[in-house]
Amino acid sequence: MILKKILSIVFVFGLLMSATVEGAISCEKLSPFSVECISFTGAPKELPITVVDVAKDDVVEIFSTLKEKQFPIYTASSFAPREIRGGGRVSLHALGAAIDVNYLMNPSFNVIEGVMIPTRKKDRADDDETIRRELAEIGISEDEIQSVLDVVIQEEGSDDRFLNRGKIRKGMITSEQVEIFKYYGFSEWGGNWRQPMDYMHLQIPRGIANSLAQAQDREAREKIWSEHLANCRRR
């Protein structure tokens, strides 16, 4: 019941905001729902997700497969009516065509400017306190917050801020998870980009996302999506 209320509040707020972002997908083409996953404590949990309507079933399959493979997720974000960081064009999140997973273990790094998102404190105690507060604000339980911090702060060698992608740690996105997202249509991973390197970010290709956002009826969107899935699975 609580999750349903959260889904409703998040979705309605997003729709109200989307009108102010030029190029954002219209509300009738979005689907809010919940997905099941494994938390950082190992317990099952649900997370709210909103994506373009025709991708809903495939996103459910993505998270179901990640759960089966015991890949832990403390947070995942999807629809957000905004431009890309730095501005200039609409974000794929505003098209309901992108999902960010476990942002602490999968940061975004601006190679040119040397800036990492999320920003992290140099002092471990300050870092711990800031992360605890931020995770509590988005509804993560105390037990799971501690499990996340065991990886992010306490784990030996975590001071590289997870930019060393050769050292695999709990919650980090690797080629295994990327292939799962790809099979179900989210075929582009920000970790393969040169600038910025966006390890948390998985998306539908922009051309496909734009076509889905512009298609006026569900049948047209379903045709675009099924053709896209077929291409993903042929590669």
Residue 154: what pLDDT?
72
- 3-state DSSP of the chain: CHHHHHHHHHHHHHHHHHCCCCCCCCHHHEEEEEEEEECCCCCEEEEEEEEEHHHHHHHHHHHHHHHHCCCECCCEECCCCCECCCCCCECHHHHCCEEEECCCCCCEEECCCCEEECCCCCCHHHHHHHHHHHHHHCCCCHHHHHHHHHHHHHCCCHHHCCCCCCCCCCCCCCHHHHHHHHHCCCCEEHHHCCCCEECCEEECCHHHHHHHHHCCCHHHHHHHHHHHHHHHHHC
Percent of the chain exceeding pLDDT 90 equals 79
pLDDT tens readout for residues 43-66: 999 999 999 999 999 999 999 999
- pLDDT score of 85: 76
| pLDDT value of residue 4 | 45
Range with the lowest mean pLDDT among 7-11, 30-34, 58-62? 7-11
Mean pLDDT of the chain: 90
- Give residue 234's pLDDT: 87
Close Cβ partners of 27 (under 8 Å, ≥ 6 residues apart): 15, 18
- Write down the residue that tokens 């998102």 correspond to: 117
Q: Which amino acid is at 214?
A: Q
Instruction: For 178-197, write each residue's pLDDT tens digit.
Output: 999 999 999 999 999 999 99
Single pTM value for the model:
0.90
Q: Residue 23: is its pLDDT beyond 60?
A: yes
